[in-house]
Structure 1
Amino acid sequence: MAVEYINCGKSVYSRVARVCKKDTGGKNILSQNWATYLKARLNCSIPGEFPFYFDEIQSIYKIPGEGRKFYGVFTTSLSGLMGSAICSFDIDDIQAAFKGKFKEQATSSSAWLPVLSSRVPEPRPGQCVNDTETLPDTVLNFIRSHPLMDSAVDHEYGRPAYYKRDVLFTHIVVDRLKFKIFGTELEYLVFYTGTSTYPRVPGVLHRHEYVPPCSWCYTPARVCTTVFLVL
């Protein structure tokens, strides 16, 4: 549930979270909780004056050996127009969001706004340290009440790699194909997506340009909806 829009009704946003590997919690405050936990929204949307958002992440995939990028399938809410999209994200953009401004709501009736840099304690909340139990109470109190970053993580290329109405993708696998034709090296990204009824190949990317669907598959697929991301 998106807490920053709770006053406007129930909204679900997809997030990416970061926790330091050596996080053992605070000494007194957050003694049994993460002391470096931060989260940011993942933006998968069709651009425009009024962007169309695919807010609910269903699955992610990272090509083995490619450590800086991952791909995800996102869907609309079931209460509105049905649709799905494939968006790609870069780890550097995620790290940049975590280095940005924090978001806060001063009162229960206030708008969510960025926190002034002068109000952020040192060392910076969420920054990895050798021993989180040595973090001062000011830092622990701040991160307990300000885990959300102000900036969302935007997807690459300014728009989804692929999107389609009236279908709900549930899982994704991505493969990179490289080959030569008459001495010319070609490279394609192939997206394999699954729904609750059948897996589907929606298309391929060639040098970041979408190529129409190349094939359909009707073999029953097992749906996987649990999503984990380790940074």
Structure 2
Amino acid sequence: MVRINQGIKDLVSRGAVTYQLDYSCCYNTLLLDEERGKLFVGSKNYLIALNLENISKHDKKIYWPAPVEWREECNWAGKDLHAECANFIKVLHPFNRTHLYTCGTGAFHPVCAYLEVGSKWDDHQFRIDFNQIEDGKGRSPYDAKHLSTSILIGEELYSGVATDLMGRDFTIFRSLGHRHSIRTEQHDSRWLNDPKFVGSFWVPESDNPDDDKIYFFFREMAVEGQNLGKSTFSRVGQLCRNDHGGLRSLVNKWTTFLKARLICSVPGSEGIDTHFDEIRDVFFLQTRDRRNPLVYTVFSTSSNVFKGSAVCVYSMNDIRRAFLGPFAHKEGPNYQWVPYQGKVPYPRPGMCPSKTFGGFQSTKEFPDDVVLFARNHPLMYNAINPIGHRPILVKTNVDYSFTQIVVDRVDAGDGRYDVMFIGTDIGTVLKVISVPKESWQNMEELLLEELQVFQDSAPITSMQLSSKRQQLYIGSDTAISQLPLQHCSIYGKACAECCLARDPYCAWDGNSCTRYLANTKRRFRRQDVRNGDPNTLCSGDDKRQEEEVLENYKSGRNLGKATPEKELLIFH
């Protein structure tokens, strides 16, 4: 790997920017607002609005600490006054054209508020009406260390969160809006068993909004199998947006909640797979069909034998298929989990009440046997395998784990590529693509760059990507960084170097390595992401210089000292 050291002046000139706030930390909640040109940030005791073009300029801040009496009560309970007894902002969503909805831990007294941000990008409103603070139980965690997720749809908030001080009652909870609050069954390990939530998404199922479903991604202690011990399984849970709960059973509880296991493993010899069992983050890459986004996930392993991470990609069709498969069933404490062989009641549990399926107007109209079956069988028997039945990226025996992922779909000269930006727990970002070998079905991973974003190696805890502005926004406990998606100028000053980089963002324009644009003149453009072969592409350029570049690359590759990958060191 060629290591390119970049000084602060070089980075500033290329647009790399860092933001920090005195007396705050934990920039873990990011909301990208393209329309207003703002990056809204939730941190310790502060709400922040930053300029998307340059996050170091024109910031706005709201100081929102927990009341003194709450902090003192928190401290009396044995918590650290400075590290834990504060208001850590954990929820930040668009609410309407003029307001955001936000919640924080409130020193173990969760609170929520409406944040006025104005209706246009140049509006100067940025304030909270502190007389309208709401109870945040079931919306924000009590403890900042507890993983949670939420999504706001219409005026309803769907949250995966702990609803108690001790972090023992985890639930998927719907609040706000005009309907009754609704949640998962309480204290039933078949539903949720000490879950760690990592993401939530709304996906339409048909043209009928009554069929819309919400998907929650989490990892939890496995309930399946006597021989597993305390094993962690990764899950995806589904529920219907128009679920009103049951009439006599599961009152104000989900009647459509189901969950299935996510598999991310490398096939091994004699049928023994290497499993990456702990899901860390999930990213939905939208396609032309809103009903079928690609689901990118990052996993790590809880194994004591080796350390590793992987990226697995799932299709929504495979996820839906698992929820249409057999239910997992167990007769008693000493029995194994098996596929349910009996008659499944109608309408099938997990189906939404709508004209599309059965004509039921509400879940309160579901027959009692349907609700009872749903209560006792939330788990599906079939697991969900990734596309290709294996990860698209694996890293083992390295000194880091994957923590975050965002993906940008990029059109290059020889096809369309999904560029993955993967955050790690040592403050680096990997820029990776999958390229076809013999065919588009047989892919190989290609590491384009490894970016050391935070000098203090703080784990990356949040990421947002703006394709429109070609910028990446990265949060950690210590700072926020802004990076351009492409750094074409670092790939040298020759056609061969540019082509060998195999970066879909970059192409040789006849004079330098610059951003690839599909509408530029083909006469001068040189790019070969799939093969990285400059022999034919660059034959018309400075021959001596190209031959020297190729010879240096080949000799370095043979010695194992250099590849077309780049490493960029970024300091703040």
TM-score (norm 2): 0.37
Task: Classify the secondary structure of the residue corresponding to 1:223.
Answer: strand
1:65 Cα shift? 4.2
d(CA) in 2 for partners of 1:195, 1:78: 18
Per the alignment, residue 176 of structure 1 pairs with 409
> 1:26-105 alignment to 2 at 5 Å?
26-48=246-268, 49-65=271-287, 67=290, 68=292, 69-77=294-302, 79-105=304-330
Per the alignment, residue 358 of structure 2 pairs with none
Per the alignment, residue 228 of structure 1 pairs with none
After superposition, the C-alpha distances for 1:57-99 in whole angstroms (9 at most, x for unaligned) are: 0001122445421100011015442110000000011111000
> 1:53-202 alignment to 2 at 5 Å?
53-65=275-287, 67=290, 68=292, 69-77=294-302, 79-116=304-341, 118-129=342-353, 130-165=361-396, 166=398, 167-180=400-413, 185-201=414-430
After superposition, the C-alpha distances for 1:119-168 in whole angstroms (9 at most, x for unaligned) are: 31111111111300111111111111101001011100121000111331
d(CA) in 2 for partners of 1:3, 1:15: 12
d(CA) in 2 for partners of 1:10, 1:172: 27
d(CA) in 1 for partners of 2:462, 2:248: 39
Give the stretch that moved more between structures: 130-139 or 87-96: 130-139
Q: Note the aligned Cα RMSD (angstroms).
A: 1.8
d(CA) in 1 for partners of 2:321, 2:406: 26
Mapped contact 2:429–2:453 kept (Cα < 8 A): no
- Which portions of structure 1, spanning 4 or more consecutive aligned residues, are displaced by more than 3 angstroms? 64-67
After superposition, the C-alpha distances for 1:2-49 in whole angstroms (9 at most, x for unaligned) are: 111355311111111110111011011000210000000011110131
Question: What is the aligned residue count?
Answer: 220
Q: In the alignment, is residue 223 of structure 1 matched against residue 445 of structure 2?
A: no
Q: In the alignment, is residue 214 of structure 1 matched against residue 448 of structure 2?
A: yes
Mapped contact 2:226–2:336 kept (Cα < 8 A): no
Segments of 5+ residues of structure 1 without an aligned counterpart are: 226-231
User: Which structure has the bigger radius of gyration?
Assistant: 2
1:222 Cα shift? 3.6
Identity %: 36
Query: Compared with structure 1, are the counterparts of its residues 199 and 63 closer, same or farther at alpha carbon in structure 2 (3 Å cutoff)?
Result: farther
Mapped contact 2:312–2:393 kept (Cα < 8 A): yes
Task: Classify the secondary structure of the residue corresponding to 1:119.
Answer: coil
Task: Classify the secondary structure of the residue corresponding to 2:240.
Answer: coil
Greater RCO between the two (CA within 8 Å, min separation 6)? 1
Aligned partner of 1:223: which letter? T
d(CA) in 2 for partners of 1:50, 1:63: 31
Give the stretch that moved more between structures: 126-135 or 195-204: 195-204
Mapped contact 1:40–1:97 kept (Cα < 8 A): yes
d(CA) in 2 for partners of 1:51, 1:169: 20
d(CA) in 1 for partners of 2:462, 2:445: 26
Task: Classify the secondary structure of the residue corresponding to 1:125.
Answer: coil
Among 10, 15, 24, the alignment partner of 2:244 is 24
d(CA) in 1 for partners of 2:284, 2:227: 35
TM-score (norm 1): 0.89
Give the stretch that moved more between structures: 206-215 or 47-56: 206-215
Aligned partner of 2:450: which letter? W
d(CA) in 1 for partners of 2:286, 2:322: 24
Aligned partner of 2:246: which letter? G
Among 5, 8, 12, the alignment partner of 2:228 is 8
Task: Classify the secondary structure of the residue corresponding to 1:139.
Answer: helix
d(CA) in 2 for partners of 1:213, 1:78: 25
Aligned partner of 1:3: which letter? V
Task: Classify the secondary structure of the residue corresponding to 1:4.
Answer: coil
Query: Compared with structure 1, are the counterparts of its residues 94 and 211 closer, same or farther at alpha carbon in structure 2 (3 Å cutoff)?
Result: closer
Aligned partner of 1:14: which letter? S
After superposition, the C-alpha distances for 1:201-225 in whole angstroms (9 at most, x for unaligned) are: 2521124512432211001264149
Task: Classify the secondary structure of the residue corresponding to 1:19.
Answer: strand
1:186 Cα shift? 2.3
Task: Classify the secondary structure of the residue corresponding to 1:157.
Answer: helix
Aligned partner of 2:322: which letter? A
Give the stretch that moved more between structures: 69-78 or 2-11: 2-11
After superposition, the C-alpha distances for 1:167-190 in whole angstroms (9 at most, x for unaligned) are: 31000011122122xxxx322222
Per the alignment, residue 551 of structure 2 pairs with none
d(CA) in 2 for partners of 1:13, 1:53: 10
Query: Compared with structure 1, are the counterparts of its residues 6 and 57 closer, same or farther at alpha carbon in structure 2 (3 Å cutoff)?
Result: farther
Per the alignment, residue 229 of structure 1 pairs with none
Mapped contact 1:192–1:199 kept (Cα < 8 A): no
Task: Classify the secondary structure of the residue corresponding to 1:212.
Answer: strand
